[in-house]
Structure 1
Amino acid sequence: MTKQPKSEFEGCKPLFVLSDSRRFQRVEISLPGRCIFSSGSEHPCRTVDISPGGMRLSALASPRRGETVLADIDDLGRFEGSVIRILHDGFAMTLRVPAAEREALAAKLTWHANQRALDIPDDRSHGRLVPVNQYAVMRTPDGCEHTVRISDLSASGVAVETSAPVRVGLHVLIGETEVTVLRVFEEGFAGLFLSPFAPGEINENTIL
């Protein structure tokens, strides 16, 4: 019998695992959008809070309980779901988000929550810098370590060059700093700090 080559992850000790309750934590976030009811009518709305499993919307128009609604939310995209509660200022609905897309949505919600907490601008180009020490060790949830190159960083996130396999929504440690993968590209990924730096706290000599 031919012995299979060992994977680079084989024998690695798990480091940390994101719990389901954290993945689906509800985030208070106010974003404009439009709701499309089953009748085809469109109405302006605004999010009150949202998780990968449900959303509360403020709206003047009210759908029927159980009605299927489409919600186009700025910066988050289009969602489909069923109305579960009618409120005095809007309604709450479930979200039918494919499992493969839930981590990406959770990462976006984390980003918006961090922005609100520290009043961080939407565009990471504000305050982006290249650190003096560009190399760091990245540890993945399975406990494996990879040497990576930091292309740039800001108070809210980091761009990383690596050939290590990652996916959107994955939580990793870069040095001692927890990062959520937000976007993946050919040469690496862009990630968000789970605990962003305060304005003015980060500079070229910062070591994660």
Structure 2
Amino acid sequence: MSASLQKSVLPRVTERRRHQRVRVNLLGRFMLENKQEYPCQVINMSPGGVALIAPIRGEIGERVIAYIDHIGRIEGKIVRKIEGGFALTVDATSRKRDKLASQLTWLANRHILDLPEDRRHERQQPKAPITKLILEDGTEHICQVLDLSLSGAAVKTKVRPKIGKPVKVGKIRARVVRHLEDGLAIEFAAVQDRNMLDENLR
């Protein structure tokens, strides 16, 4: 993605916020300092901050760890409460912030640029295709990974969770995006590290 395109989506501003927020609709989970985990929905985000809707709001200054679809893990502190949720700052290195800016640019422009979500990374065959599909209720099912990329996989299985439902394939968090004739197409919650992909599937 060109630097000019990134600037058009995420211009730097000299106001209260250092980065302009991008309106998004991303699902995820977060953990407060009490180690309890809750679902959430991110409604806007910048490389420096996030606003999300959640069933519990936490306290100002409380540390939060969140796992957001398409973004991955972020950490920060609650800076204010909003209706139905809260906003937090993102604690990250300059390199991590640059990566977040690129991810947000892609999310903001994917419809304009007509980027195919499920084919943005090259497909490959897994080294060890047999693994576990873990459903939202914790039940485990042996499955076969037919092919995969850094962002998703096709899985042969008899179970049919509804489209949009969260699942895990091995250690990787994902969600169901399509039903196939003999299985599921799933999208990973975050783009995977190529060097860790096969290990995380086991």
**TM-score when normalising by structure 1:** 0.48
The structure where helix makes up a greater share of residues is 2
- Which one has the largest radius of gyration? 1
**TM-score when normalising by structure 2:** 0.49
